[in-house]
Amino acid sequence: MGIEVGDVVEDNYGNQGLVVREEARPPAGWLRSQRDTRVMRLGLDERWLGVMPFTGGLVVAPASLCARLRSAERGDVVRAAARANRAALEALVELFPAWVP
């Protein structure tokens, strides 16, 4: 099963979070600046994800370097919401309307 919006993943740096949207390919300069050298070798057809880490914020991660852990559960959404700013809360409400506190 592939990674979908609403899944919990672990990214290539070991951070866990919720996939909240698809993202455009980052600029070449950003790709070159990454500590994980595998990122620089990814193809133009790589799928990019917007991941809301449980520690807060939003990261752009290559799908092929993420591991799908599970479909999000209520506790995952509550955990992400606890560190979310207003824009992040709005995204969570849109994806999980019954679960956002």
Among residues 17, 29, 43, the alpha carbon closest in space to that of 3 is found at: 17
Contacts of 26 (CB under 8 A, 6+ apart): 48, 60
DSSP class per residue in 8-50? EEE-TTS-EEEEEEEEPPPPHHHHHT-SSGGGGG--TT--EEE
pLDDT in tens, 25-62: 999 898 889 999 899 888 889 999 999 999 999 999 99
Residue matched to tokens 């994800």: 49
Helix (H) or strand (E) holding 69: strand 67-71
Instruction: Report how far residue 101's alpha carbon sits from residue 61's, in angstroms, rounded to the nearest whole number.
Output: 27
Q: Domain ranges for the chain, please list them.
A: 7-95
For the whole model, what pTM was predicted?
A: 0.90
pLDDT for position 32 = 87
